[in-house]
Amino acid sequence: MHLTPEENDMLSGSQGRATQKAMQILVALGEIYAATRCIPVSSVQVAGVSYDNLGEAGLAFLSEMADGGGRVRVPTTLNPAGMDIENWRALGIPPDFAENQRRVLRAFSRMGVTITCTCTPYLVGNLPSFGEHIAWSESSAVCYANSVLGARTNREGGPSALASALTGRTPEYGFHLPQMRLPELTFEVQAHVSGTYDFGALGKVIGEHIQGTKAVPYISGVQAASLEELKSLSASLATFGGAALFHMAGITPEAGMVTPPDKRRHVTRSDLDVEAQSLTDGDEGEIDFVSLGCPHLSITEIEHLARLLEGKLVKKEFWITTARATKNDSDQLGYTAIIEAAGAKFAADTCCVVAPIQGRFTVMATDSAKACYYASGKNRFKTSFLPFEEVVRQAIE
């Protein structure tokens, strides 16, 4: 790789041990992927924040970088932590876990990372614009940033994202290069899709098809898609297909700049229904956990939820996962009071996948295809995949 004098300086160690280590990580990555140079990034999002995933080994790496003088050079936010930083007791998080999670957050904070723990950074101020090079690691946010915002990022691991934060650089390969953003397969949707549930199912249909191929999908036939539907699709495509980018005719910014591939596959209502049904393996009668907010809920979704819960009482453990800043908006707008009066709980800064709740519930109801996948794989829950309104109905019945 060709490095600039400034990058060589970082690599030499004269800017501190952490910066040197960060540059070593980026150069190693660049060499693996045959990058010829590094490019500046303007925004970083780091995954690997929950102590449940990091453990002592991960925390030791973060502490080493903080002790070595690491300091972020570009705005940097975090993926969800293992708990609501303020309200962890009400969610049944053990005190020893809370203390370890705080140690993780302190290490990030010492490096100047903004302690905003969310998989929807684009909803709370970390919003890159079209063509901007960034280094993000949460898979759903990477897919959303590349596809919907038109920003450019690979799916970074936690250490490589942190390395980008500490140097302001990333190796130029993958989705930073225009030729790697071209679609290879057209998916013609021949059904009306609407809501996070349908878009989650669509992500699973396409994801299963491209899994292992790294092909960028071009999606046609979708008439309209809201921010919330696109974030659901992004999460699902990333989970089931490893996709970091899609184009959607008439909707995403690069779709009109590329040629739809001739190689086509149709997606029918029956395809969507089959994949949706495959995400349910729990009995409705056994639902004891209800979770909305994968990816983190927007304020529009929270408003909708408040309308659905107004004057009702929930009968199951019900978590609403969202970014702290979105929760603050909800407080000010009066939605939190309505939702909490119904007995549902906000779980800001965290989510039902990264919190330490393995085995705590039998069947989880959710509108998120991604949450179903991880709840079953990581947390050993059975799942009931339902539309948003139906999830709420299950909670109050």
Nearest to ligand F3S of 353, 365 (CB atom): 353
To the nearest 10°, report the CA torsion of 27, 32, 33, 37.
20
Pairing of strands 247-248, 217-220: parallel
Q: Which of 289, 361, 374, 388 binds ligand F3S (CB under 6 A)?
A: 374
Interhelix angle 51-67/158-167, rounded to 10 degrees, is 30
Q: Which of 140, 167, 170, 326 binds ligand F3S (CB under 6 A)?
A: 140
Distance, CA of 304 to CA of 309 (rounded, Å) = 9
Buried b (16+ CB within 10 A) or exposed e, 315-324: ebbbbbbbbb
Distance, CA of 358 to CA of 371 (rounded, Å) = 13
Cα angle, residue 61 at apex, residues 350 and 376 outer, rounded to 5° = 40
Say which amino acid occupies 7: E
Q: Contact region for ligand F3S (CB under 6 A) — 125-133, 156-164, 291-299, 307-315? A: 291-299
To the nearest 10°, report the CA torsion of 235, 241, 242, 244.
-60
353 lines the binding site for ligand F3S (CB under 6 A): yes
Q: Which of 123, 323, 354, 357 binds ligand F3S (CB under 6 A)?
A: 354
Binding flags for ligand F3S, 75-94, as an x/- string (CB under 6 A): ----xx--------------
The C-alpha R_g of the chain, in whole angstroms, comes to: 21
| Nearest distance, CB of residue 198 and ligand F3S, angstroms | 18
Nearest to ligand F3S of 220, 291 (CB atom): 291
137 lines the binding site for ligand F3S (CB under 6 A): no
CB contact at 8 A, 244 and 142: yes
Which residues within the stretch 222-251 sit at the binding site for ligand F3S (CB under 6 A)?
235
CB contact at 8 A, 44 and 74: yes
Buried b (16+ CB within 10 A) or exposed e, 165-187: bbbbbbbbbbbbeeeebbbebbb
Which residues within the stretch 310-329 sit at the binding site for ligand F3S (CB under 6 A)?
321
Nearest to ligand F3S of 172, 229 (CB atom): 229
Which residues within the stretch 160-199 sit at the binding site for ligand F3S (CB under 6 A)?
none
Q: Contact region for ligand F3S (CB under 6 A) — 86-94, 98-106, 269-277, 369-377? A: 369-377
| Nearest distance, CB of residue 12 and ligand F3S, angstroms | 37
Binding flags for ligand F3S, 48-77, as an x/- string (CB under 6 A): ------------------------------
| Nearest distance, CB of residue 7 and ligand F3S, angstroms | 32
Nearest Cα neighbor of 135 from 178, 191, 107, 174 is 174
How many positions of this chain bind ligand F3S (CB under 6 A)? 16
351 lines the binding site for ligand F3S (CB under 6 A): yes
Chain contacts with ligand F3S (rule: CB under 6 A): 79-80, 119, 138, 140, 235, 294-296, 321, 351, 353-354, 370-371, 374
